[in-house]
Amino acid sequence: MQCSQAVLPGSLPSSGPELADRLDWTARHPAGVDMAVADSLADVLASQRRAEDAIGAAAVLQPTMAQLAVVENLARQARGPMRLPVLNVGQQWAQFASHLCRHAGDVPAARACGAQALEWAEELGDRSMISTLLVSRAHLAAEAGEVGAMIGPGPRRAARRQSRDRAACRRCWVRGTRPRDGRRQRRR
């Protein structure tokens, strides 16, 4: 399936065939992702959200999951200055997919998509998205009757610790130092 076929017909923004061609090409050549692709993925996500508002979660679930698979592949291969924009749009896709899965009653898929979104949000240090995802996780736990998971501090504490550790690693990489000891190291 081509990337553009994973989108509901007629839901692409008015950019027309150029957008569909760009997304299809990028799906086949993930290393060629650029800012225009990240913006296009954000536009497609906005279209999918409008479609969900108009026709319901069940109708957009399958196309959204197919598109999320493409975004996950892009995120796995994104490097350099394009990594953060790809992760930003990726966390939004994964959060939306989690929302759709929850409404479809697929709790394991909702948790998996939410966990992916949370991982990317932590890497980005996006506190707003992290908060949104933790609230969503608590709602899923409450609906499943898992009170311990809903109120326990474990997930929140782990998320904060991972977020701090990743931020420290990013700072060390930028400065060219090792974590915790402050000594300079050569980049390879």
Number of H helices, E strands in the chain: 8, 0
Average pLDDT, the chain: 78
Q: What is the pLDDT of residue 153?
A: 56
Residues of the chain with pLDDT under 70: 1-32, 148-188
Radius of gyration for the alpha carbons in the chain, expressed in angstroms and rounded: 18
User: Residue 142: its pLDDT value, please?
Assistant: 86
The confidence score (pLDDT) of residue 101 equals 95
Q: How many CB atoms lie within 10 A of CB 42?
A: 16
Q: What is each CA distance from 136 to 18, 67, 114, 141, 143, in whole angstroms?
A: 36, 21, 8, 9, 11
pLDDT of residue 33: 73
Residue 55's pLDDT is 94
- Rounded Cα distance between 71 and 153, Å, is 31
Q: Which of 62, 75, 120, 77 is nearest to 95 (CA)?
A: 120
CA–CA dist 91, 84 (Å, integer): 10
What does the pLDDT read at residue 60? 95
> Which residue ranges form the domains of the chain, and what is each CATH number?
3-151 (1.25.40)
How distant, in Å, are the alpha carbons of 20, 110, 140, 182 from that of 98?
A: 24, 4, 10, 40
pLDDT of residue 12: 44
Q: What is the pLDDT of residue 100?
A: 96
